[in-house]
Structure 1
Amino acid sequence: MEIYLKSRDFRNWLSVKNGPHTPMKLNDKNELVSKPEDEWDEDDFRKLTIDNKALNILLVSLDKTEYNLVRRYTSAHEVKLLILTHEGTEQVKNAKLAILNRDYELLKMQPNESIKNLYNRLLDITKGLLGIESKDLKTMEIEEFLGSLMTHEVKLNKKSAKLVETKPQEERRKDIALKSTHKEDMSSEDELEEEDCVLFAKRF
């Protein structure tokens, strides 16, 4: 977010970092007081516009839940402070990162789990890492990996269907025994598939 704000206008980031501009003037006692709106000059309007642009950039980057937490604030500086509080300190971020990295290392396909569910779990961990600005992530073609796994799943389903269609009538009545045998036949392929998932996870 910091890089994006700076790329739009470095003054946007300064507004977030230092707080919004408050038009001020000297009164008769030589004291600084807030200017009334009808006394604002062009420089005041320019700085206030920068503040509001920075605020808008932060607000549109939030989801509905986060937006509801900060919508009462009127400056980008206040919003940023709340976001930092919500994310936690650097120590908390490191702890979250360690947990997510461990989830990657231990990631494997669960019994009866579909490729789609495995993919969703991968995305959840990835989003968590991106959310705390992990520096360890590398660009990966995750959609390509999902496609290959789904293709493998389709092949396994077709193989299972063919086995059922070619069974004699007597054997079809022994579904439990056949399912057990079929499971043993596919065990090596399942193990390879799980190993592929673990290797993919470790690439993160």
Structure 2
Amino acid sequence: MSQSIDKPPYFNGAHYSHCKNRMMIFLQSIDYMLWDIIEDGPTIPMKRVGETQVPKEMHEWSNQERKQVQLNAKAMHILLCTLGSEEFANVSSCDNAKEIWDKLEVIHEGTNEVKETKIGLLNLNYENFKMDPNEDIKAMFNRFSTIVNELKGFGEAIPEDKLVQKLIYSLPESWNFKKTAIIEAKNLKEHKLDELIGSLLTHELMSKLLIREKEKKIKRARHRC
């Protein structure tokens, strides 16, 4: 079922990396300043009393300060509306949007030490990635995308030209003819990932059709004998 582009992605505790990336893009699409609030924390209106900086009372806020505080409330509202009951309970005591975001990260990604371990394992899976012998292109690409998206969720985005090269050289020997044709036809740095997948899917489909035609010819020949 498709989801309205006006509604934030729902998160019930599953597939955190996927939901995290979608939420980041959703917030940026509404107002990039909302994402700044989550990254940097809210702006608290302050005033000087003697040698000390103290928070202002609400009636002392300027219009600009009120707008900044409102951004945090808006970001909190969006984040909380995305959460299932258990996830909401985990962050309901947070005072600002950054606290909510950071707490969800710790719960689902772990501490910095745990995150570094996960990133290391994901990078290892990426480096060792190969298409399995009995795997089709769609299944291979889904598996590849999962690794890439999880790395992106940890802030390890891989340039598209690197992804294209990795996928091409991950194909087995049975794809050597197609691999060579792709490499010779176009500079790999000019290839788009979706174009590559489209080309591989088309080749796979044509290969299956040819195999079926050969099988039909063999069966017809046997019947004549």
Specify if TM > 0.5.
Answer: yes
Number of residue-to-residue matches in the alignment: 157
Q: What is the DSSP-based 3-state SS (H/G/I as helix, E as strand, rest coil) of the residue aligned with 2:196?
A: helix
Greater CA drift, 46-55 or 146-155: 46-55
Aligned with 1:163 (options 206, 214, 224): 214
The equivalent residue for 2:151 is 129
- How far apart, CA to CA, are the structure 2 residues paired with 1:158 and 1:170? 18
Q: Cα RMSD between the aligned structures?
A: 4.1
Aligned with 2:112 (options 79, 90, 104): 90
What is the CA distance between 1:115 and its match in structure 2?
Answer: 1.1
**Structure 2 gap ranges (5+):** 1-23, 162-191
Residues 1:147 and 2:198 are matched in the alignment: yes
TM-score, reference length from structure 1: 0.57
What is the CA distance between 1:48 and its match in structure 2?
Answer: 2.7
The equivalent residue for 2:59 is 40
Contact 1:52 1:76 in 2 (8 A): yes
- Judged with a 3 Å threshold, the aligned counterparts in structure 2 of structure 1 residues 65 and 149 are, in CA distance, closer, same or farther, namely farther
TM-score, reference length from structure 2: 0.52
Contact 1:23 1:34 in 2 (8 A): yes
What is the CA distance between 1:164 and its match in structure 2?
Answer: 1.3
- Judged with a 3 Å threshold, the aligned counterparts in structure 2 of structure 1 residues 67 and 20 are, in CA distance, closer, same or farther, namely farther
Matched residues, percent identical?
24
**Structure 1 gap ranges (5+):** 27-31, 173-204
The equivalent residue for 2:167 is none
The equivalent residue for 1:79 is 100
Residues 1:120 and 2:142 are matched in the alignment: yes
